[in-house]
Amino acid sequence: MVLYNFKRITVVPSGKEFVDIILSRTQRQTPTVVHKGYAINRIRQFYMRKVKYTQTNFHEKISTILEDFPRLDDIHPFYGELLNHLYDKDHYKLALGQLNTARNLIEKISKDYVRLLKYGDSLYRCKNLKKAALGRMCTVMKRVSPSLAYLEQVRQHMSRLPSIDPNTRTILICGYPNVGKSSFINKITRADVDVQPYAFTTKSLFVGHTDYKYMRWQVIDTPGILDHPLEECNTIEMLSITALAYLRAAVLFVVDLSGNCGYTIAQQSALFHSIRALFANKPVIIACNKTDLQPFETLPESDKKLIEEMRKEAARAGAGLIDGPPPDEENCMLPMSTMTEEGIIAVKNAACEKLLQMRVEMKMKSKKINDCLNRIHVAVPKVRDHKERPPVIPQGVLEARAAENKAAENKRKLEKDLENENGGAGVYSANMHKHYLLLDPDWKDDIVPEIMDGHNIADFVDADILQRLDELEREEDERAAAAEGMDEDEDMSDQDLTPEEAEALAAIRRKKKLMLAEHRAKKKTADNKPVVPRRHDIERQFNTSRMGRHLSNLGLDPTAAVNRARSRSAAGTRSRKRDRSEGTGGDGMEVDEQANKRMRSRTRSLSRPHKEALPGEGFKDSAQKVKAMQIGKNAVKERNKDARKGEADRVHYNKKPKHLFSGKRGTGKTDRR
Amino acid sequence: MYAKKRYSEKATLKKTLAMHSERTNRHKADDQVQDGAVPAYLLDREQTARAKVLSNTIKQKRKEKAGKWEVPLPKVRPIAEDEMFRVLRTGKRKTKQWKRMVTKVTFVGPGFTRKPPKYERFIRPMGLRFTKAHVTHPELKCTFNLDIIGVKKNPNGPMYTSMGVITKGTIIEVNVSELGLVTPAGKVVWGKYAQVTNNPENDGCINGVLLV
């Protein structure tokens, strides 16, 4: 579906602007420096590039313009005719055609001059050729500038056209000038059309949207039509006639009963009959407007007769398309008054209903609906005998249904029901305070302030605030008493300690002093002496006996710790193997422990000679391990001599450098190199 | 770019202002003398005019005989041979240098066929062959795009004329049938001479002035 939105057309620059834009872009986007001393090919390329670049830019810009403007033959005939009346189809096509030829001419110029540039043998010549090429292209554009100006105007006007969708549900309002068409559309839609007492206030089509049966309807307001033959109509009237002719819409013919518009009912009836041909296959409704000034009943007989005739015609026009029940004459003519707003909704509904019926009929008749209908099939069993076979509903279901109905009657009133009663979702807002539980129910609707005296009320609100207050007060009293107690003893003397406690205290203090002194010594000598990590504990200072001594000094039993340390050490793993197996008795745990021990042994590489084949490495004996190590070293030796990092480090040398193997000799032969 | 525009606008504005203020300017009163007005003491002498006319026709006839024509560009810059031709090296070792390529715009007639390429001494590239010229009529002051019929004379030498090289100052013959000129005898003129007024190799087109 083509988007009938002409707002996306690119701006068409004037001839001079066009030239300026393209030339300045060429100047900015192509290299600018070239000297006499460059190689001739480089100079040629430089200028050829400029010419080509300018041509491609022209081509691009003109192409976008030509593509953006709609082709009058490809769009919906309504829009085609509309644009024809507004802008004159021939002029439009000519302008676009001229632009197209300009584009082709520029291409030809560029080709010719690029060909000539190939023969340029000096910078001066190439430069002049480029100047000539660009100059010619710009003259072509300048010649086209009146077309560009026209197209720009067309574009500006087109972008302000109302976006009418010719295929959707539409209501078209027509009639004499000043009968009240624009007031009507103002009332039923949000369109804000100018309403003035002079004729031809509305000079173009206006669109508004309204809703009916959950669908969007377009309402189109047209300029008034005067009763004269088609050839004499001016552009504005032709707009309404085009709309009438090409849009499949419901037609709302507005008649002014009071003659306030300046035309009698006879004249309006004459107009109706003269444009009757345009109402073929469209549902027509005659709306008699301005009933506040001249109600329908008090009309003179002749006028009533004329209106009756119109109604008959309208009914006939409408009947042509809906076959089936006879035409509903009643609905074809409705009184209304846009000033007092009575009858407006009725008119709109009648028009929408008629159009809807017609559209549904059309859809049913078309082929597309059959695809849908084919998919729906209600299977009914064939009647084969006279036995009655009503549907069977189990008793339980019936009872449940009955209970439900009763419950529905005694249902309590839901909030939703309340909402529906009071005007619906947008109108009614529920009272949230209804179910508050307060000491005094009268407080339910009170407004609670949020800030008072500069404080947040929320900070002071608490359910058990009184309880907390009591607790706080109690705490305060206790603390006050304790503080008093504290004030009396100033000094924690040793009078309160037992002799053991005093001893312990002294020991702790001594130990602390020792540790502090050690730490300080360590810190002082940290820069002078290297700190040996514990791994290389050569003096064997840190052993279990030391640990045991420390622990016993603290007063703890060291045996468990010492045993654990001993069991986790690797020394004597082997000798322990048998003990272990006897001890734990052949369950999964022992394997894990041994594995752990073995892993630990590998990290303690210092405690084991490296030639010894440890279990888990995969060697039969140490001789095999030694041999394996030797093989490994041999493999690496050669690579190291080549200074290669590994097997994958491959270096390719240039075995035949070109300068030694090629070239002619000035004199002599090239047998040897 | 906008500065240039503004400058030109300013210049035109100044000119118009000057023109408007001409009204208040004062000029020296000039005693205009009409053409052909003769002072009183010379009124009786007429014969010299006719004599002058006679001698002028004789001079013209003499010039025609000599082949000297009045052309818009009487003198042109001489073009050296190395500017006109470019040496092409040919042969297996690119040592032969007897071929020349013309670097200026040329005209070859419609029935032109090249000599066998092996024996061609002067090469006239197709890209530099032109068939049309933009010729201005000096009195009508309008320009037409006319076909070239042939090269009449190249001021740089007869060799260039025979080759059809068109440079500035060359006299060419153009097809003026579309101008609709008629001789006094009633015959339609379809060929006229024009002189080339630009450097065609620099501009990519041949501009000329019709010799009426």
Percentage with pLDDT > 90 across chain A: 25
For the ranges A119-123, A651-655, B104-108, the lowest mean pLDDT is seen at A651-655
* CA angle in degrees (0–180, nearest 5) for B172-B177-B180: 125
> Mind spelling out the 3-state secondary structure of A504-558?
HHHHHHHHHHHHHHHHHHHHHCCCCCCCCCHHHCCCCCCCHHHHHHHHHHHCCCC
- What angle separates helix A89-117 from helix A123-143, to the nearest 10 degrees? 180
Kindly tell me if the per-residue pLDDT of A586 is higher than 50.
no
The pair phi, psi for residue B86, each rounded to 5°, is -120, 135
- Reply yes or no on whether the pLDDT at A491 is more than 70: no
Q: Cβ of A119 and B125 within 8 Å?
A: yes
User: Which candidate, A250, A243, A305, A310, places its Cα nearest to that of A276?
Assistant: A310
pLDDT at B153: 93
Q: CA angle, A59 as apex, A58 and A63 as ends, to 5°?
A: 115
> Which of residues 96 through 115 in chain A touch B, CB cutoff 8 A?
112-113, 115
Distance CA A342, CA A27 (A): 68
For residue A114, what pLDDT is reported? Answer: 96
Over residues A599-620, the mean pLDDT reads 70
For A276, the token pair is 């009757």
A128–B contact, CB cutoff 8 A: yes
Nearest beta carbon to residue B204 from set A24, A124, A132: A132
Cβ–Cβ below 8 Å for B202 and A20: no
Residue type, B4: K
Tell me the mean pLDDT in the region A625-639.
Answer: 92
Q: Which residues of chain B have pLDDT under 50?
A: none
Could you report the per-residue pLDDT of A40-64, keeping only the tens digit for each?
A: 999 999 999 999 999 999 999 999 9
Cβ within 8 Å of residue A277, ≥6 positions away = none
Q: pLDDT per residue over A494-526, tens digit each? A: 567 788 888 989 999 999 999 999 988 888 776
Q: What is the mean pLDDT of residues A240-257?
A: 87
| Whether the Cβ atoms of residue A128 and residue B202 lie closer than 8 Å to each other | yes
Most confident of A317-326, A329-338, A475-484, A658-667: A475-484
Categorize the per-residue pLDDT at A585 as very low, low, confident or very high, splitting at 50, 70 and 90.
very low
Has residue A572 got a pLDDT over 80?
no
Determine whether the interchain pair B127/A118 forms a contact, defined as Cβ–Cβ distance below 8 Å: yes
Q: How far apart are CA B52 and CA A619, in angstroms?
A: 135
Determine which of A136-150, A606-620, A639-653, B129-143 has the lowest per-residue pLDDT on average.
A606-620
**How far A128 CA lies from chain B's nearest CA (Å)?**
5
**pLDDT in the model for residue A320:** 63
Least confident of A216-230, A273-287, A423-437, A479-493: A479-493
B202 CB neighbours in chain A (<8 A) are 124-125, 128-129, 132
Cβ–Cβ under 8 Å, residues A158 and A83: yes
Neighbours of B60 (CB within 10 A): 11
Under a CB-based contact definition with an 8 Å cutoff, are residues A248 and A282 in contact?
yes
Tell me the three state secondary structure of residue A320.
Answer: coil
Distance CA A39, CA A36 (A): 8
Contact: B199, A128; criterion CB under 8 Å: yes
Give the tokens for residue B187: 């015959």
Closest in A119, A129, A132 to B103, CB measured: A119
| Total-model pTM | 0.60
Residue A116 with chain B: CB contacts under 8 Å: 127-128, 204
Look at residue A670 and tell me whether its pLDDT is greater than 80. Answer: no
Residues A287 and A331 sit within 8 Å (Cβ to Cβ): no
- Gap between the Cα atoms of B93 and A503, Å rounded: 116
Average of per-residue pLDDT across A595-619: 66
Kindly provide the ipTM of the predicted complex, given to two decimals. 0.78
Residue type, B193: Y
B201 neighbourhood in chain A, CB within 8 Å? 119, 125
Please provide the average confidence, as pLDDT, over all residues in chain A.
Answer: 83
Distance CA A182, CA A196 (A): 9
Q: pLDDT tens for residues A457-466?
A: 888 887 888 8
Give B44→chain A minimum CA distance, Å. Answer: 58
| Amino acid A588: pLDDT | 43
Question: What average pLDDT does this structure show over A108-124?
Answer: 94
The 10s digit of each residue's pLDDT in A381-439 is 888 888 888 888 899 999 999 988 888 887 778 888 888 888 777 777 888 888 888 88
pLDDT of A553 reads: 86
Q: Helix or strand or coil: residue A569? A: coil
Does A305 score more than 50 pLDDT? yes
Structure tokens at B46: 């007429």
Nearest-5° Cα angle at A557, A554 to A559: 130
- Amino acid sitting at position A641: K
- Closest Cα in chain A, distance from residue B127 (Å): 6
pLDDT in tens, A346-367: 888 888 888 888 888 888 777 7
**What pLDDT, on a 0 to 100 scale, did the predictor assign at position A1?**
36
